[in-house]
Amino acid sequence: DGVPLQPESHLLTNDEILQLATWFVQQGVSKIRLTGGEPLLRKDILELVSSLNALDLEQIGMTTNGITLSKHLPDLVGAGMTHINISLDSLLPDKFARLTRRPPSYHARVMQAIENCAKLLPHRTKINIVILPDNVDELIKFCELTREMPVDVRFIEYMPFNENQWQAEGFVSYERMQKQING
């Protein structure tokens, strides 16, 4: 069913983000990542990236679900985006749909975004995968992506918090992941 969206009045404006970023840069920060929900839902995302780029940061990154990334990617890179993290919990469209509660057709969009990022931002694209019992069988296939494209994969443990109804049987440890990958 998704999550309730925050009213726009509860979100930081570009000016507020830029003010915070300016203070961070004055304190020595050289990398900023846009996250939180889905940054590409911001109508003014290009202006924000361009404004952040004017601060002479070493890196401007974004974490996204990748669904609409392809149509924005060339402009984002042109505005100064240097790194992208894309969430992907399955390489199989039907499993992707079940895990993300999005239509199976969105899987193709995310995969296309990954391919586009690999071309425009080689070695600066990461794929974030939350490992669950439902997708642990895909670990090797995810690793193989790094042979096919200049991307990194990051396997993330399912973290407990109140809203995700975390259960111990849903947890796949880092040690288990490592054993499965190493054979």
What pLDDT, in 10s, does the model give residues 30-79?
A: 999 999 779 999 999 999 999 999 999 999 999 999 999 999 999 999 99
Strand partners, 126: 85, 152
Query: Sheet containing 152-157: which strands, arranged edge to edge?
Result: 31-34, 59-64, 83-87, 125-131, 152-157
Tokens representing 41 are: 């839902």
pLDDT for the residue numbered 34 = 97
Q: Which residues contact 17 (CB under 8 A, 6 or more apart)?
A: 48, 52
Tokens representing 168 are: 């111990």
| Lowest-confidence region among 10-24, 83-97, 157-171 | 157-171
Answer for the pair 116, 124: CB distance below 8 angstroms, yes or no: no
Burial 80-111 (b: 16+ CB within 10 A, else e): bbbbbbbbbbbbbbebbbebbebeeebbebbb
The answer, yes or no, to whether residue 121 has pLDDT greater than 50, is: yes
Highest averaged pLDDT of the listed ranges 4-8, 84-88, 134-138, 153-157: 84-88
pLDDT for the residue numbered 163 = 57
Share of the chain above pLDDT 70, in %: 91
Place of tokens 């794929």: 127
**pLDDT band for position 159 (50/70/90)?**
low
Maximum CA extent, the chain: 50
CA distances to 16, 28, 35, 36, 81 from 23, in Å: 11, 9, 18, 20, 20
pLDDT for the residue numbered 156 = 83
| Lowest-confidence region among 25-34, 114-123, 133-142, 161-170 | 161-170
How far is the C-alpha of 78 from the C-alpha of 59, rounded, in Å?
13
Among residues 114, 120, 112, the alpha carbon closest in space to that of 82 is found at 120
pLDDT for the residue numbered 36 = 79
The answer, yes or no, to whether residue 110 has pLDDT greater than 80, is: yes
